[in-house]
Amino acid sequence: MRTRLALRSAISLMVALVLVGCRSGPTEGWSSRVRTMILTSDPTEIVMSSSKVPGYWAREASSGQEFFLHTSARSFKKGSRVTVEGPFGSAYPAVFRDEAGVYLRGYSTLVLVVWKMEKEAADRAPRP
């Protein structure tokens, strides 16, 4: 009897966790690996769940994958090479692509929440 009760409790807990998991979105990218990005925009913003999210558009140097880097920092410039740390996940925000003047609602992209962001060492070095 105790075994059945324990099994039932375990199943209930699993179902509850699955339900919570379904509501909280994808869990990919929860790593603090340092990534090198090339900023493809000046400071801008996207809108998720009616909230403005400041940051930059960027491409990962190694894969070319596009990311939106969510940060309140505004000191970086388009074209800068930066290293970023933080978790990321897929999202469908409303975006305005300045370069083309195109507005898109439900744009599929990866949003990286910046924990740490700095200019890459090579980008900081003085040029002759």
Partner 1 sequence: MRRAPEVLLPSLLLGLALLQAGCQSDLRPWVPPEDHKAKIISEAMFVRTGRGDYVDGYLAEYGAEAPKRRMFMVLEIPRYLRGERLIVTGRFTGDSVRMSFGDQDQETVPVFELERGAPDVPAAPDVPALK
Query: Does residue 45 bind partner 1 (CB under 8 A)?
Result: yes
Residues 82-121 that bind partner 1 (CB under 8 A): 94-96, 98, 100-106
Figure out which of the listed residues 7, 10, 15, 17 binds partner 1, where binding follows CB under 8 A: 15
Residues written for the chain: 128
The residue count for binding partner 1 (CB under 8 A) is 21
Burial 41-63 (b: 16+ CB within 10 A, else e): bebbbbeeeeeebebbbbebeee
φ/ψ of 35, rounded to 5, equals -120, 140
Query: Does residue 32 bind partner 1 (CB under 8 A)?
Result: no
Interacting residues with partner 1 (CB under 8 A): 8, 12, 15, 19, 22-23, 45-47, 50, 94-96, 98, 100-106
